[in-house]
Chains A and B, each alone.
Chain A
Amino acid sequence: MSFEGLPKGTGAKKASFRDAIYFWEILRGLGVTIKHLVYNIFHTAEMPTMQYPEEKRVYSDRFRGRHRLMQREDGTPRCVACQMCSTVCPADCIAIQGAEHPDSEIEKFPETFEIDLLRCVFCGLCEEACPCDAIRLDTGIYEIAADSREKFIVQKDFLLNNKEDGTY
């Protein structure tokens, strides 16, 4: 029987004797880990770990944090409930119900404006789509926590007064 012309396998090298008995390679591996250990014991200050609640990472100004709704000068929302944001939203996390505004120049305003922060992927397409610059993700808030799912569905009033202290 001839193996002429057949492929020569995967080309993986057969393990040498040194590799096959594990021993030296295990010692080498132990050497690598102990090097890290000893270095880190004497250089704790160089650790890349951040002590989070005390230390906080500084993000770029363009960082997309929690949303806010912009206000008109009289404090009412700029939003006209055109639903461009909920249309473009890839996570389908914005729900708006429009209603008749008493001022016929404004005509339409959001009766309800809900964002499900658990669904949101913070892509920022909503602020791109908004024709009125009514929604922005520029608060820089990234600490979004609550103790029930319902609390992550934030309403119009909350979004209009979205302060940077992160309180709900």
Chain B
Amino acid sequence: MDIILETLSKIGFMFAVIMGMVVVLIWMERKGAAFIQDRTGPNRAAILGVRLAGLVHPVADVFKLLFKEDIQPSGRHRAFYNLAPWLVMTVALSTYAVIPFGDYLTVAGRKVALVTADLNVGLLYILAVASLGTYGVVMAGWAANNKYTFLGGVRATAQMISYEINMGLALMGLVLVFSHTATPGYLREFLGTDFLSGLRLTHLVAGQGELLWGFLPKWGIVVQPLGFLLFITAVYAETNRNPFDLPEGESEIVAGYHLEYSSMKFALFFMAEYAHMVIGAALIATFYFGGYQIPWMPRPVLEAHAGMLLTLKLIAVAAVGFLFALLFLRRTQREKGKFGDLRDNEPRLGAGLWLIVALAALGGLALRPWTLGPEGASLFASLMQVGAFLAKLVFFAWLFIWVRWTLPRFRYDQLMGLGWKVMLPLGVANLVVTAVVLTIV
């Protein structure tokens, strides 16, 4: 019974994280693109004059798409046409099952693993499920019975097949590095093994908490720099994001595979793209940037200094809160009566909110956090790990956006050339060199 409740709550947590991230990412994409291009971006949708710097726009978009007419082409294959967006979305969501977002959380004396499903072949699961996403895209392209969507689907298939190989090859090096290394002492009891398995994601991340030569975090990027480059490129291609978004290349095939979709079905494709981005970011963070690990601060260090760290954290939050409150107050002065409606209250509201945050943090100090007990310390360590994971997630998701608004799209032959003629040989070489080095060392 407990196990079901645990799993359900973990699924719920991940689902909330992903859906929340999708909204934030859409906002980040629009606002980031705008700032990169010297524009202001979305800033008009408002609830009672509160615009949250454009964060209300995704909400407005959802309502708009919900109430829009669902226009379907007459020549579609009804079943596949309706199934495709759900397939894409389902596949996008199911990958998260094996991604650890912390090592464990102590609940009522029991250590609960912070991963939904700790598969011993988690890495294979990810590769397998990610490739299923292609089916949704191809299905959408074919079922809509439109030459542009069809071309989009065909492109997606070719692209995903080409880059899946590279992705797998790149990860193999990582698996080699972490397979059969000693488990960190503090986790030996929890994981129940003396040696790590390179295919299990929890083990991969646990391994990355160690230090290399006593000072360098043993992150994937440190031990596999070339593997990282190959992997990140393949992930970008797998998620159909710029510079590899040829399946929806606007200038050639209008909108590609989702051209004939409207209303909420289009929204599903749209959200799936961002969900894919979040997986991509999670995978990059998990494989190459230590997942939930904070560098030089594995769980024992965190637990030992929990009280001091919490105190410092509260002080930092208070300081940031005051700073933002001050900035908002300055805007209050500068933009007095700019719009002549409710929107004028926005800076004052922001200043108030940040002030409350800062005061709450100060209030927390009154509880004397430096006297934190061992249970509290364990909880604090878990929360810090989850926080670190989320921070890495946001950063790599932002990297997707950043790259999109920097690079132009590849040409199709360039895309294929890069995949087969550059990355594949490099991946093989990387694997061979890694194996040789590991054998010698």
Contacts and interface: CB of A to CB of B under 8 A. Distances in A.
Contacts of B38: 36, 40, 47-48
B37 A36 contact: yes
Interface in B174-221: none
A58 interface: no
Contacts, number: 39
A105 interface: no
23 contacts: A29-B406, A29-B407, A30-B402, A30-B406, A33-B36, A33-B402, A33-B405, A33-B406, A34-B36, A36-B36, A36-B37, A37-B35, A37-B36, A40-B36, A40-B38, A44-B40, A47-B38, A47-B39, A47-B40, A48-B38, A49-B39, A51-B339, A54-B338
A54 B405 contact: no
Contact of B35 (A40, A45, A51, A54): A40
Nearest to A31: B406
Looking at A26, A40, A45, A48, which has the most chain B CB atoms within 10 Å of its CB? A40
Nearest to B404: A33
Nearest to A20: B422
Contacts of A49: 39-40
Contacts of A40: 35-36, 38
Contacts of A33: 36, 402, 405-406
A56 to B, nearest CB: 14
A3 interface: no
B229 interface: yes
A41 B35 contact: yes
Interface of B: 32, 35-40, 229, 334, 338-340, 402-403, 405-407
A23 interface: yes
Interface residues of A, number: 18
A33 B32 CA distance: 10
B40 A37 contact: no
A51 B340 CA distance: 13
Nearest to A52: B44
B407 A26 contact: yes
A23 to B, nearest CB: 7
Looking at A33, A47, A48, which has the most chain B CB atoms within 10 Å of its CB? A33
A44 B338 CA distance: 14
A32 to B, nearest CB: 7
Given A36-B36, A36-B37, A49-B39, 19 more contacts: A23-B229, A26-B403, A26-B406, A30-B402, A32-B406, A33-B36, A33-B405, A33-B406, A34-B402, A36-B35, A37-B32, A37-B35, A40-B35, A40-B38, A44-B40, A47-B39, A47-B40, A48-B38, A54-B338
Contacts of A29: 406-407
The 4 closest A-B pairs by CB, nearest first: A40-B35, A29-B406, A49-B40, A37-B35
Interface in A33-74: 33-34, 36-37, 40-41, 44-45, 47-49, 51, 54
A47 B402 CA distance: 20
Contacts of A37: 32, 35-36
A44 B334 CA distance: 12
Contacts of B40: 44, 47, 49
Contacts of A44: 40
B122 to A, nearest CB: 30
Contacts of A54: 338-340
Contacts of B36: 33-34, 36-37, 40
B314 to A, nearest CB: 26
A29 B242 CA distance: 14
Contacts of A47: 38-40
B327 to A, nearest CB: 10
A33 B38 CA distance: 10
B326 to A, nearest CB: 14
B341 to A, nearest CB: 9
